[in-house]
Amino acid sequence: MDYYRGSIEKKKKTREPGAGGIGSAFWVVVLIVLVSFIIGIAVSLFVINTEASSRLSRIKDTILVSVAGETPRTYSINIEKNGKDYILTEGDRFEISYRDEFVIRRVETNSFLNRGITVDIEGTGTSNDLEVLLNGIELVDRKIGNDKETFGINVLYRGNVITSIPIDVIITPQDWLRFAKGSQTDKSRIEYLERAVSMKKDDINARKMLANLYVKDGMINKGIMEYRRVLRQKPDDLISLVELSKIYMSKKQYEKAITIHREIIKINPKDDVAYANIAYCYARLGNWHRAAANFKASLKFNPDSTTVRYNLAEAYERLGRDKEAIAEYEQVMKKMPGDANVIAVLSDAYLRTGRYDDAIELYRDLIKKQPRNATAYANIGLAYGNKDMLEKEIANYQKAISLMPKDPVIHFNLAVAYDKGKMYDKAAEEYRKVMELKPGDADAGLRLADYYLSKKDYDNALIMYEKFIKSGSKDASLYEKAGFAYGELKKYKSSADSYEKALEYGSKSEFIHYNLAFAYDRIGKKKKAIAEYEAFASSKPTMEVLTILANYYMEGKQYDKAIRAYQKMIKIDPREAGLYSGIGYAYNLSGDTDKAIANYKASIRYDNEDDIVHCRLGEAYEKKEMYEEALREYTTAYELNPDSNEAARKIPRIKVRILQKKHQ
């Protein structure tokens, strides 16, 4: 049916009855006569039935409206909606949705020829909406804009409402979607979409739109929830899976992101991007083995991806698989020959794997592109250093420093190079610069302290050592060196404390026990000193320490320990006469005269002119009542040293003993 049969005209004002002159009165009279005639006929027929009665009632009402000026009644409103006819009477309601088109075809009233009757649709249309095609969308939009607003079909007589049929405006999820799409702000879009999905919970497209807006507006958790609801309805919805994976990656929830990407791969087993993203997640989790495996899988389906190949090379680097890393970087280099970043990482890999000439060549290429790249010069310096080309090593470090004077690492490497070249003063100067730039640098500080120590500048050395000690360092060598410096300054208590700390932190130095023993000895802790000397002698027996121990044992009458000490010394120097005389004396005091005699005789073999040994041998013989032998040794001692009182005193006594023995 063509609703647009003519243009919509504004309703003309209806002339009121009696408003005209004589002509009007004439027609009223004619009308009354005619009506009376009809009534007469109707009465004469006396048709008694409902329909006839109703018609008669209407005729009567029409006369009353026309003659008596009563307010007309509305019998029905005929409406065509979407091609279907509806007849509404008082007490009915009319439903409208955004898709509906409707037109008021006619209104039945008891106004003669419907004079003075107009129709007004609240919220839309014109001054008279009879026979006007109207759209429900206008009412829906007004209702969404103001939920409290009401609408109706009003029948008016001479501008006054005589009948009103309420219009029920039906708002559907599609209406909220329309408003969401047309809204100018995310906040209102979200509100409209929330209404839409609350009305139609299975609308996954609306949920995806809402989820996207939540994420965009910073309501991440709500966005995740909506995407999850979509996936519960449609587990293979790729858009939701991809967006959800992006959210988890942005939130650094890599385990969850991996799970989502695995679902994507189930749907599309050749999705190289999903494999690449899984690899990226594993890389962020530090699982470089799985990262490498997934980067490889991604390249299987998209071998031309330089980004993925570059990332695979990095994964190989992290795994220590430098040759494989280099192979991948070289392939990237072929596709991106002028890329400075690729040149840098490949040259670094060459440097790391000992391909110093290749590294130097690439660094030179990098410098051509970036003439002020201090790192490239520094790394060339490293390469030359590993090739033992000290002069070029130093020259490149100096160039790097000229470009980046505040880099402590380059200053440190230059200092180390100076150290290698035995340019210690220059090295120290660089270490000082490192400390200025990075005060907490332990390597530079300790090397500078060692420099002061080598220069016997113990005070400055200790300033550096104490700085690191106060910082809580547990470096055993630090305490050991501090102990030595304190010892050289005769601060033996501090020296001993430092050596104790060095041992506590696991020092394996051979001489720490000796130095600690020396410090203990100087502060009067004799027993502790001996314990440290013993510890030193157990791993590194020296004549000096064993002599100290032997003398201590002899003084303490620990003859067995003294004997063992002498035995160790004899192994070190088996031709030293004094060792045999010492052990002989220990045996003598311990009561083993025979071994004393044997060792005294051994001592005499290596030094026959020691009068004291001859005297001690004479005493041993005397104990054994071997007077002839004793006289011989005392006599020899006296001959060697006429000032020997012991020999002079013993000789006559032994002679008497010999005579007595003969007369027995």
Query: pLDDT tens digit string along 392-449?
Result: 999 999 999 999 999 999 999 999 999 999 999 999 999 999 999 998 888 999 999 9
Pick from 74, 171, 82, 199: which is nearest to 133 by CA? 82
pLDDT at 145: 79
Pick from 582, 570, 581, 563: which is nearest to 633 by CA? 581
What global pTM score does this model have?
0.60
pLDDT at 53: 54
Strand order in the sheet with 160-169: 94-96, 160-169, 151-157, 117-121
CB 626 within 8 A of CB 602: no
- Please return the burial class of 573, using the count of CB atoms within 10 Å of its CB with bins 0-12, 13-18 and 19+: exposed
CB 172 within 8 A of CB 97: yes
pLDDT at 68: 55
Which residues neighbour 51 within 8 Å (Cβ) at sequence distance 6 or greater?
none
**590 CA to centre of own chain:** 73
What is the length of the chain? 664
- Below-50 pLDDT ranges, the chain: 1-26, 28-30, 32-33, 36-37, 39-50, 52
pLDDT at 587: 96
CB 508 within 8 A of CB 517: no
Geometric angle at alpha carbon 373, from 368 and 379, rounded to 5°: 100
Phi, psi of 130 (to 5 degrees): -70, 130
- Please return the burial class of 406, using the count of CB atoms within 10 Å of its CB with bins 0-12, 13-18 and 19+: exposed
Separation of alpha carbons 407 and 373, rounded Å: 13
Q: How far is CA 363 from CA 290, 322, 360, 456, in A?
A: 32, 18, 5, 42
List, for residues 202-251, the tens digit of each pLDDT value.
888 888 888 888 898 899 999 999 899 999 999 999 999 999 999 999 99
Neighbours of 10 (CB within 10 A): 8
CB 393 within 8 A of CB 385: yes
DSSP string, 57-125: HHHHHHHIIIII-PPP-EEEEEEEETTEEEEE-TT--EEE-TT-EEEEEEEEESSGGGTTEEEEETTSS
Q: Look at the block and give the residue holding tokens 């002159």.
A: 21
**441 CA to centre of own chain:** 25
Separation of alpha carbons 234 and 57, rounded Å: 64
Q: Dihedral of the CA atoms 543, 544, 545, 547 (nearest 10)?
A: 80
Task: Name the H helices within 136-251.
Answer: 136-145, 173-182, 186-199, 204-216, 220-233, 238-250
What sign does the CA torsion over 106, 111, 113, 117 have? negative
Pick from 335, 348, 355: which is nearest to 375 by CA? 348
- Please return the burial class of 555, using the count of CB atoms within 10 Å of its CB with bins 0-12, 13-18 and 19+: exposed
Separation of alpha carbons 488 and 475, rounded Å: 21
Pick from 181, 246, 251: which is nearest to 209 by CA? 181
Pairing of strands 160-169, 94-96: parallel
Rg (the chain; Cα; Å) = 58
Separation of alpha carbons 341 and 362, rounded Å: 11
Tokens of 363: 């660094």
Q: How far is CA 114 from CA 23, 54, 508, 551, 660, in A?
A: 21, 18, 120, 145, 182
Separation of alpha carbons 19 and 25, rounded Å: 10
Separation of alpha carbons 631 and 653, rounded Å: 9
